């Protein structure tokens, strides 16, 4: 082969193989539901074929912010209900006549989040969420938070996502690391909710998107990689009052065995009452999610990093194992 042809071949072969992976789409949509109350959270499941393994490589939302406030897709081992639709907002109103339970009964993890007309999410080349036979994800559950109801047609609402998937083995597996805290915020004060963990898994994580979650008191949530206990590199930070979707991490970054991952939620409590971490709207939450890929068939373990939170646990405290150079200002400003 002459050099030019060879060059053409090396450029085009990756494009052709990507094309030949025969990607397909699968709808994960509400089955034409008619929510009766604003602020309802509804869930609907799909059971995955457990004879085959599938690789989810992207998400194409089918929703508008005129109707849906947010949507989440959960991977579950067991769904929260055997019904086609159920109420799944612990902190919200309930559609009369429907069962109420959590999105998943076991093995839950968030694999997609949408809010405020967020665009499609495509995972990097060669990366997929492994679901079905050779994975712990046996069901996918769509959760829709209905904000407003006046644009829903009389035939019902079918908000949801089209899952882009392939049966072609993907060399890189996507996963989500969930970071969070317990603890509480005293009245009329600013409180840092902090967590950190040393990565035990020998595989290098390549983070490519992040999501933050708090309730009303959250001002800034930041997530960090800490190398050698004192070199802090930002993974991402966000105002949690903005849409709580997965935002891309624009830079290339690796999290290696022995690195520490750390997250802080800065909460301002103007209330007259102490506010605790908990599951209702009166409570708070502090979460930082890291979506990443690793080579191979399994996501990293453990996949959560929780601490007791304030007041007994902090980055600077004695249980964090000696973190230095804490970026106190950068971690709490946007
Ligand atoms: C107490 C807390 O932080 N709850 C969070 C994180 C969480 C997510 C999952 C906890 C568990 C889970 O199985 I998935 I146990 C929490 O509930 N976060 C909300 C959703 O419920 C997922 C969020 O929007 O991030
Ligand atoms: Cu919402
Ligand atoms: Cu919450």
Tell me, what's the pLDDT at 95?
87
Q: What is the pLDDT of residue 43?
A: 97
pLDDT at 134: 86
Residues having CB closer than 6 A to ligand 1 are 108-110, 178, 180, 213, 277, 285, 287
Q: What pLDDT, on a 0 to 100 scale, did the predictor assign at position 15?
A: 45
* pLDDT(68) > 80: yes
Active-site residue identified among 199, 213, 238, 267: 213
Can 285 be counted among the known catalytic residues? yes
What value does the mean pLDDT take over residues 135-154?
A: 94
pTM recorded for the entire structure: 0.91
Which class for 234: exposed (0-12), middle (13-18), buried (19 or more C-beta within 10 A)? Answer: middle
Under 8 Å between Cβ of 78 and 139: yes
Is residue 14 predicted with pLDDT exceeding 70? Answer: no
Residue among 71, 95, 145, 199 flagged as catalytic? 145
Atom of ligand 1 nearest to the CA of 244: 24
Q: Would you say 289 and 213 are in contact if contact means Cβ atoms under 8 Å apart?
A: yes
| Domains in the chain: boundaries | 25-170, 180-331
User: Is 148 marked active-site?
Assistant: no
pLDDT given at position 16:
42
Give the separation between CA 73 and CA 76, rounded to whole angstroms. Answer: 10
Ligand 2 centroid–CA 145 distance in Å is: 5
Question: Among 30, 71, 95, 143, which one carries the catalytic annotation?
Answer: 143
Active site residue: 199, 205, 285, 291, which one?
285
151 tagged catalytic: no
Span 281-302, pLDDT tens digits: 889 999 999 999 999 999 999 9
Distance CA 6, CA 67 (A): 52
Q: How confident is the model at residue 21 (pLDDT cuts 50, 70, 90)?
A: low
Minimum-distance ligand to the CA of 75?
1
**What digits encode the pLDDT tens for the residues 240-285?**
999 999 999 999 999 999 999 999 999 999 999 999 999 888 899 9
Strands 287-295 and 172-181: antiparallel
Task: Taking residues 312-334, report their average pLDDT.
Answer: 94
Q: How far out from the chain centre does Cα 194 lie?
A: 18
Fold of 25-170: Jelly Rolls (2.60.120)
First CA to last CA distance, the chain: 54
Q: Distance between CA 159 and CA 142 in Å, rounded?
A: 9
pLDDT over 60 at 18, yes or no: no
Q: Which of 41, 110, 245 to mutate to test the pocket of ligand 1 (most atoms within 8 A of CB)?
A: 110
Compute the mean pLDDT over every residue in the chain, rounded to the nearest whole number: 92
Interval between CA 283 and ligand 2 midpoint (Å)? 16
83 catalytically annotated: no
Local confidence band at 5 (pLDDT 50, 70, 90 cut-offs): very low
Does the annotation count 143 as an active-site position?
A: yes
- 145 among known catalytic residues: yes
pLDDT in tens, 178-228: 999 999 999 999 999 999 999 999 999 999 999 999 999 999 999 999 999
Q: Which residues pair with 201 in a beta bridge?
A: none
Domain 25-170 and domain 180-331 have a common topology: yes
Q: How many CB atoms lie within 10 A of CB 91?
A: 14
Residue 15 Cα to ligand 1 middle (Å): 38
* Closest protein CA for atom 21 of ligand 1: 279
CATH topology of domain 180-331: Jelly Rolls (2.60.120)
Q: How far apart are CA 39 and CA 144, in angstroms?
A: 10
Instruction: Give the ligand at the shortest distance from the Cα of 278.
Output: 1
Please provide the size of the chain in residues. Answer: 334
Give me ligand 2 centre to Cα 114, in Å: 9
């Amino acid at each position: 082969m002459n050099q030019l042809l060879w060059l053409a071949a090396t450029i085009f072969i990756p494009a052709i193989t990507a094309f030949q992976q025969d990607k397909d789409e699968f709808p994960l949509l509400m089955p034409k539901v008619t929510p009766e109350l604003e602020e309802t959270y509804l869930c609907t499941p799909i059971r995955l074929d457990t004879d085959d393994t599938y690789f989810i490589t992207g998400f194409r939302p089918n929703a508008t912010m005129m109707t849906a406030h947010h949507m989440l897709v959960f991977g579950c081992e067991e769904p929260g209900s055997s019904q086609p639709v159920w109420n799944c907002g612990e902190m919200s109103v309930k559609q009369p006549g429907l069962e109420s339970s959590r999105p998943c009964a076991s093995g839950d993890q968030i694999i997609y989040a949408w809010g405020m007309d967020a665009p499609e999410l495509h995972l990097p080349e060669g990366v997929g969420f492994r679901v079905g036979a050779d994975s712990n994800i046996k069901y996918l559950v769509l959760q829709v938070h209905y904000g407003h109801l006046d644009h829903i047609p009389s035939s019902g609402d079918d908000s949801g996502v089209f899952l882009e998937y392939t049966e072609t083995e993907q060399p890189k597996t996507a996963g989500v690391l969930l970071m969070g805290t317990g603890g509480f915020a005293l009245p009329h004060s600013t409180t840092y909710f902090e967590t950190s963990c040393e990565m035990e898994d020998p595989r290098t994580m390549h983070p490519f998107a992040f999501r933050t979650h708090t309730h009303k008191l959250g001002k800034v949530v930041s997530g960090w990689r800490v190398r050698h206990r004192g070199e802090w590199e930002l993974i991402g930070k966000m105002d949690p009052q903005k849409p709580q979707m997965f935002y891309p991490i624009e830079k290339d970054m690796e999290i290696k065995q022995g690195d520490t991952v750390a997250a802080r939620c800065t909460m301002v409590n103007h209330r007259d009452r102490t506010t605790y971490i908990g599951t209702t709207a009166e409570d708070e939450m502090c979460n930082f999610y890291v979506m990443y890929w690793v080579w191979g068939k399994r996501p990293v373990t453990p996949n959560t990093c929780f601490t007791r939170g304030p007041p007994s646990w902090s980055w600077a405290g004695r249980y964090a194992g000696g973190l230095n150079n804490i970026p106190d200002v950068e971690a709490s400003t946007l």
